[in-house]
Structure 1
Amino acid sequence: MTKALILGVTGQDGTYLSEFLLKKNYDVFGTFRRTSHKCFERLEEINIFDQVHTIKADLADQGSIQNTIKQSNPDEIYNLAAQSFVGTSFEQPILTSDITGLGTLRVLEAIKQVKDDVKFYQASSSEMFGNYSEMKNEHSPFLPRSPYGVAKVFAHNMVNHYREAYDLFASCGILFNHESPLRGLEFVTRRISYELAQIKFKKKNKIHLGNLRAKRDWGFAGDYVEAMWLMMQQDHPDDYVIATGESHSVEEFLSLATEIAGLGDWHDFVEIDKALLRPTDIEDLVGNSSKASKELGWKPKVNFKQLVKMMVEHDIDYFRHSV
């Protein structure tokens, strides 16, 4: 039985990836950092918590990472652990750099020392790219505009270095924004779907949002974890952009979500909060995943409208049953 170690198993991507790998009869190990029961709520929501071997680990602790690899003895390692919210990275740049950037280096060094024949996947990010309009591919320059983006560039470059210098099987998936009903409430798409459901059931009367003009290439997280796995099945490691090829603004997401929720005009309950605006932001991010399509045979299955509908209906259903 193939064994996989997912660093950061309790997040959105870790949960969907666990589900995907379990269906392929993998033995799944996953790390977590927090000790509260709520930490595992995503795994519990889709009824797979009991099927995942959870290990407490910390990307800030080299010994912890090495022990985790020894304990799980995996064939594949997926590094999804990070301080992953861009907004928080402005408030906590040192923590973000330590976990998201140096944490990846610690994992690479642990692999080199403990199990250098393992296949390694690194979650790179579209936030590594800058504020320029053309579609981004694997050759586009990195010009990050947040501490999170800077940390991800460092991690990405380190993966490339270890691949070339030490012949590790190490691939990076440069994933553009990917959402789902399991997305954290700090992210704007989930905040919109969740708070619209609250408004629908009279639990709230206003939604506070930041930059409605920002455009992102939004896909479904469940589709994107398949791309991660496909990278690990190749004969040689490489880097791939994973995206839908379409960008939509926050306002488009909000308008469609409001329509699906049956709430009329969003202007009636949305207020712009300047505190939610970032010091520097990227206005438009859209990716070209033609390389992944050609070499991995990967294409997104869920389109933008289906994604918004999925998220809104999930949160409405949640509040309907909790009233």
Structure 2
Amino acid sequence: MTAARTALVTGVAGQTGSFLAEVLQATGWRVHGIQPAGSGAAPAGVAVHRIDLRCHDDVATVLHQVQPDAVVNLAALSSVARSWQEPVLTHQVNSAAVANLLDVVQELRRADPAVRFVQASSAEVFGRSADTPQTERSPIAPVNPYGVAKASAHLLTQAYRLTGMHASNAILYNHESERRPEHFVSRKITRAAARIAAGVQDELVLGDLDVQRDWGWARDYAAALALILQADEGDDYVIATGETHSIREFVEVAFAAVGIHDWQRYVRSDAAFHRPNETHRMVGDPGKIRRVLHWDPTVSFEQMVVAMVRHDQRALD
């Protein structure tokens, strides 16, 4: 009998980390997780290590203790808006911490060259790309501190791959679910729709309603991460749907799900919520991951929004 493989997932209590842990456990992996002190609960069966990834000694201690077959880094300060307020912290968490992980994985490879690493990269590394849609070959040209930090980690992962490490970048476009924290615009919208329909909220205030994003279902994206982790070779993959929808469309679908079709009465745009250097349209080309790893999204944009709204309605019961 083959011994169970061990994965170490950072950010394991977050939306995508928790889904990935469940996917891996369902296929026989043992899962360890890294979370900072005071963060949320990880899925059942995950051995959690509470450390700060910015501390190289802590990272080395845990990885040498766990001896993982694979490390997936999903830990990040994930708000573009917050990255403008805290650019130094964003760099430390989203870039320097990745250097710590890669350095220690390289140490582990001296005993086991097969140890793998997957970095959760981001569509924000492309910035205002002239490519539509963006592919794995699109220029790296970020326009905000979050994207810059993610780009640094992305390029560093590629550099370690050149040394022989099985190292991959999963270039994640927007992905949502009922586990998305409420400060993200997707949950802000679905929660407001449920609350306004229930009479416990009066209005929803958003930024630019015309911003367009390539939105997918987080469970599908966790499945893509698992495929990348287990691929024959390390590589870079865009994980996206290839479709764009505006925030306005997101609002329309969410409010329609609760029976409100004149949503304009309840929603207003405020310039205070507009981001500097906003990238108004982002769309990824998932052709490579479809072709090489046979991945396809299973949930449509409308199904995703409605599922999130239904969850937020149940939460009010």
The TM-score range, normalised by the shorter chain, is over 0.9
Output the amino acid matched with 2:127.
G
TM-superposed CA distance for 1:189, in Å, is 0.7
Counterpart in 2 of 1:74? 68
Aligned match of 1:160: 158
2:230 alignment partner, one of 209, 229, 233: 233
Q: Does 1:307 align with 2:310?
A: no
**Whole-angstrom CA distance in 1 between matches of 2:203 and 2:31:** 41
- Over the matched positions of the two proteins, sequence identity in percent amounts to 38
> What TM-score, normalized by structure 2, do the two folds share?
0.95
CA contact (8 A) 2:37 2:51 kept: no
Contact 1:180 1:221 (8 Å CA) reproduced: yes
Paired residues in the alignment total 310
Indicate the residue corresponding to 2:105 in structure 1. Answer: 111
- CA deviation vs aligned residue, 1:2-60 (integer Å, no higher than 9, x gap): 11100110110111001111111211100110325xx11xx4xxxx33x1111112111
Instruction: Give the secondary structure class of the aligned counterpart of 1:13.
Output: helix
Q: Does 1:98 align with 2:95?
A: no
Deviation at 1:113, TM superposition (A): 2.0
The residue correspondences of 1:44-55 to structure 2 (distance < 5 A) are 48-49=43-44, 51-55=45-49
**Alpha-carbon displacement from aligned partner over 1:277-305 (angstroms, at most 9, x marks no partner):** 10111010001011101100111111111
User: Equivalent residue for 2:213?
Assistant: 216
Deviation at 1:107, TM superposition (A): 0.7
The equivalent of 1:27 in structure 2 is 30
Structure with the higher fraction of residues in helix conformation: 1
Tell me what 1:15 maps to. Answer: 18
Q: Which of 186, 191, 199 is 1:189 aligned to?
A: 186
**Contact (CA 8 Å) 2:129, 2:141: kept in 1 or not?**
no
- Alignment-mate amino acid for residue 24 of structure 2: L
Aligned counterparts of 1:130 and 1:97: Cα–Cα separation in 2: 17
The answer for unaligned runs of 5 or more in structure 2 is: none
Structure 2 match to 1:62: 56
In structure 2, C-alpha distance between the alignment counterparts of 1:131 and 1:314, rounded to whole Å: 34
Q: Which of 126, 139, 142 is equivalent to 2:140?
A: 142
In the aligned structure 2, how far is the partner of 1:30 from the partner of 1:261?
A: 37
TM-score using structure 1 length: 0.93
After superposition, the Cα gap between the structure-2 partners of 1:158 and 1:132, relative to the gap in structure 1 and judged at 3 Å, is closer
Contact kept? 2:177, 2:308, Cα under 8 Å: yes
Letter in 1 for 2:27: K
Contact 2:194/2:313 (<8 A) preserved: yes
3-state DSSP of counterpart to 1:309: helix
Q: Is the 8 A contact 1:178 1:224 kept in 2?
A: yes
Q: 2:245 aligns with which of 244, 248, 253?
A: 248
C-alpha deviation, 1:94, in angstroms: 0.5
Aligned residues of 1:66 and 1:114 also touching (Cα < 8 A): no
Q: What secondary structure sits across from 1:144 in the alignment?
A: coil
2:273 corresponds to: 276
State the distance in 2 between where 1:215 and 1:253 align.
10
The question of whether the paired residues in 2 share the 8 Å contact of 1:132 and 1:284 is answered with no
Give the secondary structure class of the aligned counterpart of 1:208. Answer: strand
CA deviation after TM superposition for structure 1 residue 76, in Å: 1.1
**Structure 1 residue 182: Cα displacement:** 0.4
C-alpha deviations, 1:131-180, integer Å up to 9, x for none?
Answer: 2451000111122121000101000000011111x311100111111101
Please tell me the residue identity of whatever aligns with 2:21. S
Residue pair 1:213, 1:251 contacting (<8 A) in 2 also = yes
3-state SS of the aligned residue for 1:271? strand
The root-mean-square deviation of aligned C-alpha atoms, in Å, is 1.2
Q: Is the 8 A contact 1:78 1:120 kept in 2?
A: yes
Distance 1:67 1:270 in 2: 50
- Please give the alpha-carbon distance, in whole angstroms, between the structure 1 residues aligned to 2:233 and 2:109: 18
Residue 218 of structure 1, CA deviation = 0.2
Structure 1 gaps of 5+ residues are none
* 1:293 corresponds to: 290
- In the alignment, the residues of structure 1 paired with residue 173 and residue 261 of structure 2 have an alpha-carbon distance, to the nearest angstrom, of 30
Give the AA of the match of 1:276.
F
Task: Please say if residues 108 and 159 of structure 1, whose CA atoms lie closer than 8 Å, have aligned partners that are also in contact.
Answer: yes
